[in-house]
Amino acid sequence: MDYRVSLTESAKEDIAHFEASYQRIIVAGIMSHLRVDAEVSTRRRKQLRRNPVAPWELRIERFRIFYSAEGT
C-alpha cells in the first residue's frame, strides 16, 4: 500500500534541532522507508505495544522516529 508522508509541525521542530547533515539523513530515511508499506514490520520498522507516543517506530542509523500511519 502506498502512503503520503507528511511531517507534523512538532516533528519539523524536533528535526530542526539537529545539524543539517543529520536533518538530511532523517528526512531522507523517513521518505524512503515510509512511502510504501509503512504498516509492515521490517528490520527498521516495528509495531510498538500500545502507548501514548505512537504505534510505530522507525530506526534510521542512531535515530528513532515514532510515527502513525494512515493508508491513502
Give per-residue pLDDT as tens, 28-49. 999 999 999 999 999 999 999 9
- Nearest Cα neighbor of 42 from 50, 34, 52 is 34
One-letter identity of residue 15: I
Sign of torsion over alpha carbons 39, 40, 43, 47: positive
Cβ–Cβ < 8 Å for 14, 54? no
- Residue 60 resides in a domain: yes
Residue 71 predicted with pLDDT over 90: no
Number of structural domains the chain divides into: 1
Residue 6 predicted with pLDDT over 60: yes
| Cell numbers representing residue 11 in the block | 516533528
Domain span including residue 28 = 9-67
- Residue 14 resides in a domain: yes
Coil, helix or strand at residue 49:
coil
- Nearest Cα neighbor of 34 from 15, 26, 24, 22 is 26
